[in-house]
Chains A and B, each alone.
Chain A
C-alpha cells in the first residue's frame, strides 16, 4: 500500500491526525490506523452487477483510496430489482460508467478507474498495484480463472455469490483453492430458479466488504478454507471449513 494520504487527512502513524467529517463515524469501529490503510488501498472489483454495486458503494464510503472496476455489460430492466447502480436513468448504460458517476457523487476522494471488459483485460500494472480483489462474477469459469490469477499474483480474494435467499462469502488467501472446492463441477447456477432478491444481494455484498476491510486493516488472519453461508430464509449463518 502507498502512504496513507489519499482521500483523508490521516498521515504518518495516524496519531493525532485530523480526520475528515465524512469518515468520523468509521473510526469507532475501524480505528484510525485502519482508516489510514483504507485511504491508501487500491481495490480491484470484478463484476459491477448486484454484488459489485454494493461492494464499491461501501468501499468508497469506508474511504478506500482507489478502486478499479471491471464489467463488460450494460444495465437492463431485469437488474432494477437488486442492483444498486441500476436506475431508470442508467438503463442501457455501461455498468462501469454508472459506477464512475455514482462514486463521484458518493465520495470524490475515491479514485475510480473503469474497464469495460472482462478481468483478463486488467493490465499487469493494475494487478501489481492492487491490495485486494473482489470476485463479484457470475460464472464458474470466470471465478476459477480470477482465483487462479490471484494465486499467481499473491493477492487475497474476497469471494461472494448469491442464489435466492442464500449467499456465500469466503476470504481466499493466496494459494488457497477455496473457489475450486466450491465449484468442483461446472454447470448452471440454481439462482435462475430461485431468482435474486435485493436483500440477499445487499447482505452478501455487505459481508464481503466487512471481510475485505478486516483483511485490509490487518485484523483478519489467514485461516483455513472457511466459507460463510447465509440462509436468510431460516435466519442461519453457518461458517464451514472446506
Chain B
C-alpha cells in the first residue's frame, strides 16, 4: 500500500532524499515500521500525526494515509 509522508524539522535533512511524498509500505505496517524504513533517528520520533490526528508509533497505517513525523524543538534559545 502507499501512504503520503511529510517530514518536518531535522527529519527532512536526515532522511533519504525520496523519503517524502508517496511511499510504498507493506500491508499491516505501523508508524514504527515506516519510520524505521526511512532511517529516522527513532529516539527523536516524538510527534506523529496521521490524517491530522496525533498517534503513537504502534498505530497501524492504511492505504492513502497522510503521515507527519517530527521532533519537537525544546530549547529556549
Number of interface residues of A (CB under 8 A): 49
Total A-B residue pairs with C-beta atoms closer than 8 Å? Answer: 101
Q: Per-residue CB proximity of A175-208 to B under 8 Å, as 1/0?
A: 0000001111101111100101000110011000
Interface assignment of B8: CB less than 8 Å from any CB of chain A: yes
Q: Per-residue CB proximity of B53-69 to A under 8 Å, as 1/0?
A: 01010000000000010
A204 and B10 contact, CB distance less than 8 A? no
B76 and A140 contact, CB distance less than 8 A? no
Within the complex, which residue of B12, B70, B73 is in contact with A234, where a contact is CB–CB below 8 Å? B12
B75 and A189 contact, CB distance less than 8 A? yes
Interface assignment of A119: CB less than 8 Å from any CB of chain B: no
Q: A166-B9, A240-B8 are in contact. Are A184 and B47 (CB under 8 A)?
A: yes
Q: A47-B76, A138-B75 are in contact. Are A231 and B9 (CB under 8 A)?
A: yes
A59 to chain B, nearest CB (A): 16
A164 and B46 contact, CB distance less than 8 A? no
B72 and A50 contact, CB distance less than 8 A? no
Residue of B nearest to A185 (CB): B46
Residue of B nearest to A84 (CB): B77
Interface assignment of A161: CB less than 8 Å from any CB of chain B: yes
Number of interface residues of B (CB under 8 A): 22
A229 and B74 contact, CB distance less than 8 A? no
Within the complex, which residue of A137, A185, A204, A229 is in contact with B70, where a contact is CB–CB below 8 Å? A229
Measured in the bound complex, the distance between the Cα atoms of B9 and A241 in whole Å is 15
Measured in the bound complex, the distance between the Cα atoms of B52 and A167 in whole Å is 20
Task: Name the residue among A83, A168, A205, A234 with the largest chain B CB count within 10 angstroms.
Answer: A168
B74 and A163 contact, CB distance less than 8 A? yes
* CB under 8 Å from chain A, chain B span 28-64: 43-44, 46-47, 49, 52, 54, 56
Q: List 18 A-B contacts (CB under 8 A).
A: A47-B76, A138-B77, A163-B10, A163-B71, A163-B74, A166-B9, A168-B73, A182-B72, A184-B56, A185-B46, A190-B44, A190-B71, A191-B73, A191-B74, A204-B77, A234-B12, A241-B52, A242-B49
